[in-house]
Amino acid sequence: MQESDLIGIPEDSISTPALIVDADILEANIEKMQSYLSEKGVSLRAHAKTHKSPYIGQIQMKTGAIGLCCATLAEAEAMVQGGLNNILITSQVAEADKLQRLASIAADADISIAADCRENIAELSEAALSRGSTIGIVIEVDVGMGRCGVRSAGEAVALADETVARDGLRFRGLMGYEGHAVFIGDRTDRRRTGLAANHLLMESVNAVRARGIPVEIVSAAGTGTYDIAAGMEGITEIQAGSYIFMDLAYEKLGLPFEISLTVLSTVISRPDQKTVVLDCGMKSISVEREMPRARGYDGMEVFKLAEEHALARVDPSGKSPLRGEKVSLIPSHCCTTVNLHDRIFLVRNRHVEAVLPVSARGVH
C-alpha cells in the first residue's frame, strides 16, 4: 500500500507493529513546553534525537523553538536537508570524514557543535577553513555525568581562548547536560541534583565572561529538569526532547505532559486463557528500562519480549484482547523506540492524518 493510500484510514487498520503518535497530544505537549519557557524568558532548543523527524522539528520551530539539538552529525544533516536551521550538535566529532561533513553543512546552515579539548578545536578550525564555512563552538562542561566535557572552569576558559584565536570558528557559549538528574524520582532530590549541576555550568560561564569573552548560549537540561534549569539565572536555553512523546520512565515523574507515542500491535495468538501473544518484540519497542505497558487493559502484564513477540499475562475473569485485535503498547523509552521504525503514523481522532519518515533513524 502506498503511503498516500494510508491517509484517512482508521488507526486499527494500520499494519502492525507500527509507531503511532496522537497529533492532538503531540501538539499540546509542544505548546505546553513552549508556553512555560516563554513565560520564564528562556528559549527552547528542542532535541531532535527524540523524534528524528524534520516534520516534527518544523512544528517545534513554528511554535517558538529557537533551534534544535541533534545528538549526531547525521541527525543534523537530516534536519538541514529537511529545511531546518540553527542546530546544535551535542556530541563531539573526531573522525576526519565527519569533520568535513560538518564543515560542509555549516556552509548552508547555522551549525554549532559541542567541543571539550584543544585538539578538537584545531580540527574543527582546519575543516571549516577547508570548506570556507564557519562552525559555532559550544564548550561542553561535565556537570556530573562523567562523560564528555571539561572538568573545570579553568579548562573552559582555556578552550574559549583557543576558540577565539582560531579562524573558521565562532565561539557561541557553553552547555552542560545534567542527565544524571533527569530521572530522579523524588522531586526534592531531583531539584537539588539538577541545581548543583547548573551551578557547575554557571561557574564556567562566569569564568569565561570574566576573561572578557561574550557568552551568547548557556544550554542545559532535559525533559526531567526543564523547569529546574529554567529557573537558574543565566541559563539561556533548554535542550528538552522527550516531552513531546513521553514514556513510562518520564510518566513516573509527574510532569505536565501526556503520552502521545505508542506502538500498535496485534494479538497473533491466545494459546491459553492467561496468555496473550503480540507481534511486537524487541525489534519494534524498547525494553531497556522496563517492559512496555498495554493501554486499556489494566490486568494485562507484558512479561517477556522476544525479537518479534511480546508475551503478556491476563486475568481470565477480566477484560483481555482476542486474537486479531489491536493493542497499543507504551514504551519505557520513547527515543530508542522511535529509532526502531522507518515511519511515524500521525493520528488524529483515531484516523491517519500523515505518515512521517523517521529520516534520521540509524544514522550517525
Q: DSSP per residue over 164-196, as a string? A: HHSTTEEEEEEEE--TTTTT-SSHHHHHHHHHH
- Same-domain pairing of 124 and 222: yes
Whole-prediction pTM:
0.96
Q: What is the mean pLDDT of the chain?
A: 97
* 97-132 confidence digits (pLDDT tens): 999 999 999 999 999 999 999 999 999 999 999 999
Share of the chain above pLDDT 70, in %: 100
Structure confidence by residue, pLDDT tens digits, 206-258 = 999 999 999 999 999 999 999 999 999 999 999 999 999 999 999 999 999 99
CATH code for the domain of 211: 3.20.20.10
Q: Which SS3 state, helix, strand or coil, does residue 287 take? A: coil
Same domain, 109 and 128: yes
Q: Would you state the pLDDT for residue 4?
A: 82
Please name the residue that has the C-alpha cell 499475562. Answer: 313
Asked if the structure places residue 251 within a domain, the reply is no
Q: Are residues 213 and 264 in the same domain?
A: no
Domain count, the chain: 2
CB-CB contact of 30 with 41 (8 Å): no
Q: What is the pLDDT of residues 40-88, one digit of tens each?
A: 999 999 999 999 999 999 999 999 999 999 999 999 999 999 999 999 9
Q: Decide: 325 and 336 in contact? Cβ < 8 Å.
A: no
Whether 309 and 242 map to the same domain: the answer is no
Phi, psi torsion values for 339, nearest 5 degrees = -65, -10
Domain termination residue (choose one: 199, 226, 246): 246
**Contact call for residues 174 and 215 (beta carbons, < 8 A):** yes
Are 238 and 160 part of one and the same domain? yes
Radius of gyration (Cα) for the chain, nearest Å? 22
**Are 216 and 156 part of one and the same domain?**
yes
Which phi-psi region, left, alpha or beta, contains residue 86 (left: φ > 0; alpha: ψ -120 to 50)? left
CA gap 230, 236 in Å, rounded: 8
Residue 363 reports pLDDT greater than 90 = no
CATH of the domain at 14: 2.40.37.20
CA distance 133 to 115: 17
Which residues form the domain of 36?
23-246
Shared domain check, 299 and 240: no
For residue 52, being part of any structural domain is answered with: yes
Band (2; pLDDT cuts 50, 70, 90): confident
Residue 1's pLDDT is what?
A: 63
**H-helix or E-strand spanning residue 262:** strand 261-272
Contact status, residue 137 vs residue 170, Cβ threshold 8 Å: yes
- Is residue 94 domain-resident? yes
| Cα torsion 100, 104, 107, 113: sign | negative
User: Which pLDDT score, from 0 to 100, does residue 142 have?
Assistant: 98
Q: Is there a single domain that holds both residue 188 and residue 74?
A: yes
Q: Which pLDDT belongs to residue 3? A: 81
Q: Which three cell numbers stand for residue 59?
A: 512544528
- Mean pLDDT computed over 157-174: 98
H or E, element range at 139: strand 135-140
Residue 265 lies in a domain: yes
| Tens-digit pLDDT profile for residues 294-327 | 999 999 999 999 999 999 999 999 999 999 999 9
Residues 237, 89, single domain; the answer is yes
